[in-house]
A and B are shown apart, each in its own frame.
Chain A
Amino acid sequence: MPALLFEIGCEELPAGACREARGQLPALVQSKLGVDPSRVLISPRRIAFLVDELPDLSEPVWLKGPPTSAPPQAREGFARRHSVSPDDLVERDGFLGALVAPEALEERLASIVRGIAFGKTMVWRAGGIRFPRPIRWLLAKLDSETLRVEIPDVPSGAVTYGHRFTHGEFDVPDAGAYLGLLRNADVEPDADERERRIRGGLDAIGEWSDPLRKLDEVLYMVESVRVLPGEFDERFLALPRRVIDTAMQSHQRYFPLEGNRFAFVANGGEPETVTAGNRQVLENRLADAEFTFERDRRVGIEGLESRLSQITFFQGAGSFIDKTERVVDLVRKLGGGEASLEAARLAKADQAAELVREYPDLEGHIGAEYARLAGYPEAVSAAIDEQYLPDGQDAPLPGTEGGKVLSAADKIDTLHVSFGLGHKPTGSRDPYGLRRAAIGLCRLADEGGLTVPRDLLRDDVRDFVEERLESLLDVPVEFVRAARRSAMTELGGVAWLARQLAELPDDRLGPIHTVYTRAARLAGDAEGDVDPALLAEPAELALAQALQGTDLSVVAARSPQAFAAAADLAPVVERFFEDVLVMAEDSAIRANRLALLAQVRDEVGRLGDFSQIPR
């Protein structure tokens, strides 16, 4: 069987497009050619694949039609659509089908070009096809035969191109020769091989790091791998380390090493020349950061803080000074200590820092550095540093108490302000990151053990935040919904209770559930006090007494005793229902018995709204 090579030659593709092509090609080739590609080769200038043994594609294709039992009209219609005689339909597995000439290989290849779904595409010729960057050539070889693949305005021939500057155009005599010839032309089209070489090269240079995860991108930024070491002037080590690392990674995609060393991946050039140039570029960036850093430092964190009145936090919610005052107040309400209060006062100062304007991702971190430089205690700096954590579903929480309190206060304020102004997230639109803030708050309370009083949150914000628990906790949602209507006074407790309820064994949950739902159903919305003088039947006296001795509010202190105590009510309540006629003719007695059941409902209801839990 012959070998097939197909290459789509492009102008430099974005890394994201390369990944999309790499992800989709195997299935696409399988669906168009009925065979898995032996190799998928992706680099910035080419999307290619090889099939070592291409099966015979010249056999007619059987297209499934109506079942054999279908009326003649259906057969005739199907046959007409495929331009065959109804008599020529062929049966397989109870269906009639038409045998039609297969699509030519060239057409299948063209449909592969059109079949890759890219997120972002462009047009380079009016009326032409869309692709992430212009396609400049196509190369298709079936062994030594050259196939012409029709894509408008794109030449299809027997040539490919090597490294953009060291090797030009060359002939590919047959499919099998492609890979070797490309490698001779200074191109490594296999992304895995490039990654192996990049990692190997970096390892050979030293302890490298990749905090912003650039390697996946760098992999698709070169066709030829040259890993080079570099150094920058040691005077820049006076800059905060995160600033240095971000300057290296965010735009330049360098890999930081210890001290003043770095490594980077080039696509060509003389190592000495290229290294000197890259060093210069990095030093220019660091000098720019140094200049900005010095200007901020001269102003100092107190000075920056005093500028906050001029910076709007949110249209309708005042300046960052107003935000600061609200956050300080919330920190106090969350029980924050001296360090947390000091941190809250300084937390937003870096919003006035020029360095934050340059490196917005380093907000908080830069403020912390400036607080350190001004001699504030480490607890204060650390809290400022951690105020935006956790910034994602799996991101780490603040490590310090101050950081947790400050982070929670900041999130609560953002949620309150946004909801107050009517900016509730809708559908997938959440421009102010309120879902993330709410999830962060839940995690601080639950995983972080921070006490967040539920009554600190306005009603709509509390609902929004607690709804996040439904997806955050690994517990069926009905338990979370039940726990949200409990007597828990703090957010973390709701999460704790939801888990407890979900883990209760059936013989414990069952009786509590029954007690609650029966009492609640019968009591309806009854309220009011029980008059002991009207209690006559032994069973109702026993229930009143049992209730007297039961205090399920201990659940708020996360006491598992509460479940045992609630379960203890079950036999008493059961006896009550057996022995006592609630709907007594005497209306006073009836009301009194309903009030007694309402007490049961309310007492057991401290553990949650069990009617949310289907049984």
Chain B
Amino acid sequence: MAAVNFQDMIRTLEGFWAERGCVLMQPYHTEVGAGTFNPATFLRSLGPAPWRTGYVEPSIRPMDGRYAENPFRFQQFWQYQVLLKPAPDDVLDTYFESLAHLGIDLVRHDVRLVEDDWEAPTLGGWGLGWEVWIDGMEVTQWTYFQQMGGLELDLFPAEITYGLERLALFIQQKRTAFELEWAEGVTWGDVYRENERQWSIYNFEAAPVDVLTRRFGEHEAECKQLIERGIPLPAYDQVLKASHAFNLLDARGAISVTERAAYIGRVRNLARAVAKLYLEEADARAPV
């Protein structure tokens, strides 16, 4: 197997999915916990319009930071996200072909689909699918969406989320993410170790609880105003910002178990309202 470095792995996936009709997008401009939150997935899953996309997304999860001391936990890691709407009948075969494209020999290795259903309580979304194992290593989350923003879907998309660090650990046969080759002569650690340390300090110690609490409310209020105004796309950014504020507050230990459910419910309500408006808007703009 060719030890493809991190950036070549991304380029390979981009090339592979571009050839299969995906619109190559870029990471979104505000923090998201997963590529699913990117409007290119969340909003585009809704409605009757077919859509295919692929993009890299940094997954920002403040709770998971470990000050760069633990080589298996990070507050920021990378996903390659693919959404195929509607899911083609041969979508699994195509996915396996992408692994072969990365140089993975599907016969030498034990490649498995292991039941793993997906639910995003803040997005009001759920789907059924798998995690994909290669020799026991989970390298991809695979989901057939069933509902998003609390709404039934018109077309059922397949979401394929490659965990790039996990995949690279496997492809490069490295023991820790820090040792992964990002580009020739440059490791993942060179690029992100210090980032992990500083952001862990921010997430766990320095992020201002009172400011974030206030901001959560402000994002919520602004989101509602923008929904009133009938512009779901800017409103959705406020959902993302509120969601990130919540994640930071959670990392700061500022949210009790019972409060958690209430916060999640508030974000979900926003996401639902945005999804509903987005669909109405799309209907209104559609040529009769």
Q: List 15 A-B contacts (CB under 8 A).
A: A12-B113, A12-B114, A12-B130, A122-B156, A133-B128, A165-B107, A269-B110, A270-B109, A274-B109, A277-B137, A278-B135, A280-B175, A284-B169, A312-B256, A312-B257
**A124 within 8 A of partner (CB):** yes
Q: Residue on B with the closest CB to A253?
A: B114
Supposing A221-B114, A277-B170, A288-B72 touch, asked if A269 and B135 sit within 8 A by C-beta, the answer is yes
Q: Residue on A with the closest CB to B256?
A: A312
Tell whether, in the assembled complex, residue A122 and residue B110 are in contact, meaning their CB atoms are under 8 Å apart: no
B257 contacts which of A12, A16, A315 (Cβ < 8 Å)? A315
Q: Residue on A with the closest CB to B87?
A: A124
Complex CA gap A157/B106 in Å reads: 27
Complex CA gap A495/B70 in Å reads: 53
Supposing A12-B130, A267-B112, A269-B110 touch, asked if A124 and B135 sit within 8 A by C-beta, the answer is no
Tell whether, in the assembled complex, residue A280 and residue B114 are in contact, meaning their CB atoms are under 8 Å apart: no
Minimum CB–CB distance from B262 to chain A (whole Å) comes to 10
Give A contacts to B, CB under 8 Å: 11-12, 14-16, 44, 120, 122-126, 132-134, 136, 153, 164-166, 221-222, 226, 252, 264, 266-270, 273-274, 276-278, 280-282, 284, 287-288, 291-292, 310, 312, 314-315
Tell whether, in the assembled complex, residue B115 and residue A124 are in contact, meaning their CB atoms are under 8 Å apart: no
Tell whether, in the assembled complex, residue B136 and residue A277 are in contact, meaning their CB atoms are under 8 Å apart: yes
Tell whether, in the assembled complex, residue B111 and residue A268 are in contact, meaning their CB atoms are under 8 Å apart: yes
Tell whether, in the assembled complex, residue A126 and residue B130 are in contact, meaning their CB atoms are under 8 Å apart: no
Tell whether, in the assembled complex, residue B156 and residue A124 are in contact, meaning their CB atoms are under 8 Å apart: yes
A122 contacts which of B71, B113, B146 (Cβ < 8 Å)? B146
Complex CA gap A479/B169 in Å reads: 65
Supposing A11-B113, A125-B86, A125-B156 touch, asked if A166 and B137 sit within 8 A by C-beta, the answer is no
Supposing A278-B135, A287-B72, A312-B256 touch, asked if A268 and B110 sit within 8 A by C-beta, the answer is yes
Tell whether, in the assembled complex, residue B107 and residue A166 are in contact, meaning their CB atoms are under 8 Å apart: yes
A268 CB contacts on chain B under 8 angstroms: 107, 109-111
Give B contacts to A, CB under 8 Å: 66, 69-73, 86-87, 89, 92, 96, 106-115, 117, 127-128, 130, 134-137, 144, 146, 154-156, 169-170, 175, 253, 256-259
Minimum CB–CB distance from B267 to chain A (whole Å) comes to 19
Tell whether, in the assembled complex, residue B71 and residue A274 are in contact, meaning their CB atoms are under 8 Å apart: no
Tell whether, in the assembled complex, residue A315 and residue B113 are in contact, meaning their CB atoms are under 8 Å apart: no
Minimum CB–CB distance from A395 to chain B (whole Å) comes to 25
Minimum CB–CB distance from B71 to chain A (whole Å) comes to 7
Closest 4 A-B residue pairs measured CB to CB?
A277-B135, A315-B258, A269-B110, A312-B256
Tell whether, in the assembled complex, residue A288 and residue B86 are in contact, meaning their CB atoms are under 8 Å apart: no
A281 CB contacts on chain B under 8 angstroms: 135-137
B115 CB contacts on chain A under 8 angstroms: 12, 14-16
Complex CA gap A304/B259 in Å reads: 23
- Which of A44, A122, A291 is the most central at the interface, judged by chain B CB atoms within 10 Å of its CB? A122
Minimum CB–CB distance from B253 to chain A (whole Å) comes to 6
Tell whether, in the assembled complex, residue A270 and residue B69 are in contact, meaning their CB atoms are under 8 Å apart: no
Tell whether, in the assembled complex, residue B108 and residue A126 are in contact, meaning their CB atoms are under 8 Å apart: no
B127 CB contacts on chain A under 8 angstroms: 122
Complex CA gap A34/B98 in Å reads: 46
Complex CA gap A291/B176 in Å reads: 13
- Which of B72, B106, B110, B111 is the most central at the interface, judged by chain A CB atoms within 10 Å of its CB? B110
Complex CA gap A268/B107 in Å reads: 7
Tell whether, in the assembled complex, residue A269 and residue B109 are in contact, meaning their CB atoms are under 8 Å apart: yes
B144 contacts which of A122, A252, A312 (Cβ < 8 Å)? A122
Complex CA gap A15/B257 in Å reads: 32
Tell whether, in the assembled complex, residue B258 and residue A122 are in contact, meaning their CB atoms are under 8 Å apart: no
Tell whether, in the assembled complex, residue B110 and residue A280 are in contact, meaning their CB atoms are under 8 Å apart: no
